[in-house]
Structure 1
């Protein structure tokens, strides 16, 4: 895409811009404010896909993603399965990767995704890929992260206790990694890496160490992978896609702070992990509490999962009095998976080299 030098007329639309100063801007970037450009024109699949493609063409503080990919590159999409309208969002991302002539695209889902979602996304993305004109056929593969399977992992670093940290192999092997996440309040994500890479795509033993407080710095894994740009998708009150933004983690934090400057939402502080440690004691007085708190899960059947039940319980726990009751209203209609059964009642296990064999050191 051709670049032109244009004067900035409305400086408030551009971070760090000074009115009258010349900036190198892409024509698409001056089409409107970040707030206006990040919302779909309607709720059609085509509009959602076009929005995802457009935001990846003009991410905040990052050149178009097409210029970050060499033809034939292996691109990995690290995807949160709770992203609203996930099929349409990924269709738009895949359309842009086709323009970049990526050689292989690995869509890696958090392990809470079910088989039905994996199959549905594979079918949808195969259709999108087949309709694209690329230099060479682009292979698209949808997989679910398996933290207990050694064959699906790659070593990346040792933590502060010299314990090995493994990540999903497709993310480690890829030439370019793009996280796509559902934007959540800090209540629901706690101390998770803002890119969603760690610990969601780590091995089971590392996840267990993280949960028990012995952990690697959350941002280090994403930094080692070379993650520079990401996408955040937020839901509206009806559980549909409300806003989609892309850019560097720092730029997205800044944009979210501007979008929600009124303080009516905590999205802009979703990764401000230091706030809970430095906040004054009076902050808790602004959080209403009750003896009974009812939390409801919105969204379609894809969002009705045990993992989201846990997130709802965490969020509600901030508002319930000691000894109080939390009621979660949802449409979860399946029993917990074996992974959740282990989380709920059995001791965690380490990396498995097969379905029946486990590593004794990690068990």
Structure 2
């Protein structure tokens, strides 16, 4: 059978394998939206079971759009938001576009150009370190202070624009993650990115509950949720009550991104697709977690990427000692942004051999206890060496559970309902 697996911005891993060697090809992305702008306009002007934006607000109101992270075609979405807010029926309202702290410079520049001379629109990139731009909105059930971006706190209406993800995703914060912790203070971001919050189901539940509390304290009732068809394309845009549509979307995401191979494979090949904004250690960790659910114990994983970012000191701890148990204990105490990714790599290396195609120097990959693969020809030889293979496209979005095995989100969203 001829296999073609896309990765990176435009790379393709193509090879010919005997049918009996192929366990599964997990690549089921559906159709792509023909017009993102028209869908966003409909979501804001004629949403199901909600009044349109003009009817839901009054002159003088400040409407703040909290733009989540990793959203495909986000510039087109923001352009559509600005088109709607410029209509005559929206006169005398004010609009704020709040971008995440790690938003790309080119996105900020593009939105600035879109706004142009409009005086009714404010653009802000969140700064988690500036206490003057943060506001206390209440305490969580665990009596922790909840701080959010001051523009969101002061707004008359907050509309999160978030990316829909499967509940079982490696670092999923729940349906309100476009608000929290995306727009909280640095200390809270670091606390909630701790590896234990990713690793332990009880703490994952607690973390997601805190995000939901923050959304409720802000009075968020309505939001826009984007379903990805890939890292840079969209299959659907939903609007409505966040709790309700997020639960409904889980079934749709499962149909697109959840795969059930008949058995585990000796080698799992997983692709990180998309341009440089997708080629991150966080997406590497997500893809590695997915691939480990499809690979045999003591089997191997081949990650196809265009990673160029050098690993942080937390990741490089894996190069310092051979004792993986000791490394995991040490990484669990870290509060750096990529500590969870480092822990995932350490956990996977304890069970599987990991090969990596990337744009990193081979010496760096080798120091991380992975085997560098220099080119696609070497990757083909790796595939030919193993007796069975599973291929996973868009690894940062997918989920795999071999038949007879289950992946549970362990999160009961009902307990956080209003």
TM-score, length basis structure 1: 0.64
In structure 2, the residue matched to 1:140 is: 122
1:83 aligns to 2:71 (yes or no): yes
For 2:269 and 2:190, locate their aligned partners in 1 and report how far apart those are by CA, in whole Å: 29
In structure 1, the residue matched to 2:308 is: 333
In structure 1, the residue matched to 2:140 is: 159
Residue pair 2:36, 2:77 contacting (<8 A) in 1 also: yes
Shift of 1:53: 0.7
Output aligned runs, 1:245-324, within 5 Å: 245-253=238-246, 255-256=248-249, 264-265=255-256, 289-322=264-297
Give a deviation string over 1:150-172, Cα, whole Å, max 9, x none.
23321122234433221122221
Q: 2:181 aligns with which of 193, 199, 215?
A: 199
Judged with a 3 Å threshold, the aligned counterparts in structure 2 of structure 1 residues 295 and 39 are, in CA distance, closer, same or farther, namely: closer
Output aligned runs, 1:101-250, within 5 Å: 101=91, 103-123=93-113, 125-127=114-116, 130=118, 137-143=119-125, 145-188=126-169, 190-196=171-177, 197-210=179-192, 211=194, 212=197, 213=203, 215=207, 217-236=210-229, 239-250=232-243
Residue pair 2:176, 2:211 contacting (<8 A) in 1 also: no
Judged with a 3 Å threshold, the aligned counterparts in structure 2 of structure 1 residues 96 and 334 are, in CA distance, closer, same or farther, namely: same
Q: 1:92 aligns with which of 66, 80, 90?
A: 80
Judged with a 3 Å threshold, the aligned counterparts in structure 2 of structure 1 residues 301 and 285 are, in CA distance, closer, same or farther, namely: closer
Q: 1:53 aligns with which of 41, 45, 65?
A: 41
Shift of 1:250: 3.8
Residue pair 2:270, 2:302 contacting (<8 A) in 1 also: yes
Give a deviation string over 1:161-209, Cα, whole Å, max 9, x none.
4332211222212111111122223343655130222222222322344
For 1:79 and 1:341, locate their aligned partners in 2 and report how far apart those are by CA, in whole Å: 30
For 2:101 and 2:288, locate their aligned partners in 1 and report how far apart those are by CA, in whole Å: 20
In structure 2, the residue matched to 1:348 is: 335
Pairwise CA RMSD of aligned residues? Answer: 3.5
Give a deviation string over 1:88-140, Cα, whole Å, max 9, x none.
111111222223236433222233323232222322x314x75xxxxxx3123
In structure 2, the residue matched to 1:68 is: 56
Name the SS for the 1:188 alignment partner: coil
Residue pair 1:235, 1:243 contacting (<8 A) in 2 also: yes
Give a deviation string over 1:305-339, Cα, whole Å, max 9, x none.
44433433343344345555544323343446xxx
Residue pair 1:75, 1:102 contacting (<8 A) in 2 also: no
Judged with a 3 Å threshold, the aligned counterparts in structure 2 of structure 1 residues 245 and 291 are, in CA distance, closer, same or farther, namely: same
Shift of 1:221: 0.5
For 2:48 and 2:54, locate their aligned partners in 1 and report how far apart those are by CA, in whole Å: 14
Bigger relative contact order, structure 1 or 2, given CA contacts below 8 A and separation 6+? 2
For 1:61 and 1:73, locate their aligned partners in 2 and report how far apart those are by CA, in whole Å: 21
Residue pair 1:112, 1:307 contacting (<8 A) in 2 also: no
Residue pair 2:167, 2:174 contacting (<8 A) in 1 also: no
Name the SS for the 1:252 alignment partner: helix
Residue pair 2:221, 2:241 contacting (<8 A) in 1 also: yes
Shift of 1:240: 1.8
Residue pair 2:225, 2:237 contacting (<8 A) in 1 also: yes
Judged with a 3 Å threshold, the aligned counterparts in structure 2 of structure 1 residues 51 and 285 are, in CA distance, closer, same or farther, namely: closer
Residue pair 2:261, 2:294 contacting (<8 A) in 1 also: no
Shift of 1:220: 0.7
Output aligned runs, 1:30-41, within 5 Å: 40=33
5+ residue gaps, structure 1: 1-37, 131-136, 268-283, 350-363
5+ residue gaps, structure 2: 1-30, 198-202, 318-330, 337-418
TM-score, length basis structure 2: 0.57
Shift of 1:246: 1.2
